Amino acid sequence: MVVASSRLGDVTDALHGLSGWRAVAGGSTRSASVAAGLAALCGPDDETVLIHDAARPFVTTTHVQALLAALADADGAAPALPVADTLKRKDGETVATVSREGLWRVQTPQAFRLGALRAAYAQADAAEATDDLALIERSGGRAVLTAGDPMLFKLTYPEDFAMAETLAGAARITRIGQGVDAHRWGPGEAVWLCGVKIAHTHGLVGHSDADAGLHALTDALLGATGLGDIGEHFPPTDPQWKGADSATFLAHAARLIAARGGRIVNVDVTLICERPKIGPHRQAMRERVAEILQIPVGRVGVKATTTEGMGFTGRQEGLLAQAVAAVETPA
Ligand code: MG
């Protein structure tokens, strides 16, 4: 594996314990990087070597098998697609149509007989080549093309990444989690709800800041990903969480999800209480939750309802919060 020299330590660490992998530092050009990779290979000349751009993530064994088969009577092989779009050449203000007859777009991985590629790199001015098959062609070796595949497209522009995420989405699933929390009303002059401090005639009693909205939401996120519950991650018996800002809990759940390659799709919190009135604070709550989770505010819902005087919320003994969260994760 050839990587930027600045990342060599990270990649070496990541490969630790895996057999058959070794990382070497690349050069300032593509061909210099390939040359560094070749220099690290100690196999005999009749070995096969495949060179692949990591920027083409959708390579499959079918592509590789076709290349290996093509090497039976060639020194190098690469997948290629016929040019389908009409080609134009612009010279100043003059536009002319160029024939696309016989033109192919070449992709990677490319496969070579190791000896032939070594010889080609030793001979040619490799710096000018934009692919390795070109060096085989120049050195008089036999180059062949195998069937290309639109899925071997290279991630170059921002829209390419969006396309790749959509394609990769087939291997992702959406999970739903729910959370419920209640805290008792007690003495106080303010209450924290969904990360916003609201002046009130009472406060909520709890070990942390008692933000039932954020607690329910934290549990919903942990539940969506099967990561336990808030009490497991932040035990109320632990003195370090006394009076804690519940944003810490929510941000922790978001980090756990991100570390597993997950992405929060949307969240929705319902606060159930007679007072205080939530409506005037709803937008501030949505914005605060979006900020903690680092998602667009359009993906955050905050609602409130009363129970019309019934039950513990109706008697104003406590406040109840419910939340749901949708999280997309690798399947
Ligand atoms: Mg709680």
Residues 218 and 314 in one domain: yes
Residues 124 and 202 in one domain: no
CA of 192 from ligand 1 middle (Å) equals 11
CA of 173 from ligand 1 middle (Å) equals 29
Q: Within a domain: residue 14?
A: no
Predicted confidence (pLDDT) per residue in 2-44, tens digit: 999 999 999 999 998 898 889 999 998 888 999 999 999 988 9
Residues 135 and 247 in one domain: no
CA of 232 from ligand 1 middle (Å) equals 12
Predicted confidence (pLDDT) per residue in 269-308, tens digit: 999 999 999 999 999 999 999 999 999 999 999 999 999 9
Residues 75 and 128 in one domain: yes
The pLDDT-based confidence of 100 (bands split at 50, 70, 90) is very high
CA of 246 from ligand 1 middle (Å) equals 9
CA of 195 from ligand 1 middle (Å) equals 13
CA of 176 from ligand 1 middle (Å) equals 20
CA of 252 from ligand 1 middle (Å) equals 15
The string of DSSP codes covering 73-123 is G-SEEEEEEE--SPEEEEETTEEEEE--TT-EEE-S-EEEEHHHHHHHHHH
Residues 302 and 185 in one domain: yes
Predicted confidence (pLDDT) per residue in 167-183, tens digit: 876 678 899 999 999 99
Q: How many domains does the chain have?
A: 2
Q: Which domain holds residue 89?
A: 41-157
Residues 151 and 211 in one domain: no
Residues 316 and 217 in one domain: yes
- C-beta separation of 312 from 318 below 8 A: yes
Predicted confidence (pLDDT) per residue in 53-62, tens digit: 989 999 999 9
Residue 151's SS3 state is helix
The pLDDT-based confidence of 164 (bands split at 50, 70, 90) is confident
Q: Within a domain: residue 265?
A: yes
CA of 206 from ligand 1 middle (Å) equals 7
The confidence score (pLDDT) of residue 124 equals 64
Which of 102, 131, 157 finishes a domain? 157
CA of 126 from ligand 1 middle (Å) equals 64
CATH of the domain at 140: 3.90.550.10
CA of 259 from ligand 1 middle (Å) equals 25
Residues 101 and 218 in one domain: no
Residues 87 and 178 in one domain: no
Collect all residues with Cβ–Cβ distance below 8 Å to 136 and sequence separation of at least 6.
Answer: 75, 76, 112, 116, 117, 120, 142, 143
Place of tokens 């604070």: 281
CA of 112 from ligand 1 middle (Å) equals 62
Residues 278 and 190 in one domain: yes
Q: Within a domain: residue 318?
A: yes
CA of 184 from ligand 1 middle (Å) equals 10
Residues 189 and 268 in one domain: yes
CA of 212 from ligand 1 middle (Å) equals 5
CA of 239 from ligand 1 middle (Å) equals 15
Say if pTM beats, i.e. exceeds, 0.85.
no
- The mean pLDDT of the chain is 93
The pLDDT-based confidence of 211 (bands split at 50, 70, 90) is very high
Residues 122 and 207 in one domain: no
CA of 11 from ligand 1 middle (Å) equals 41
How many residues in total does the chain contain? 331
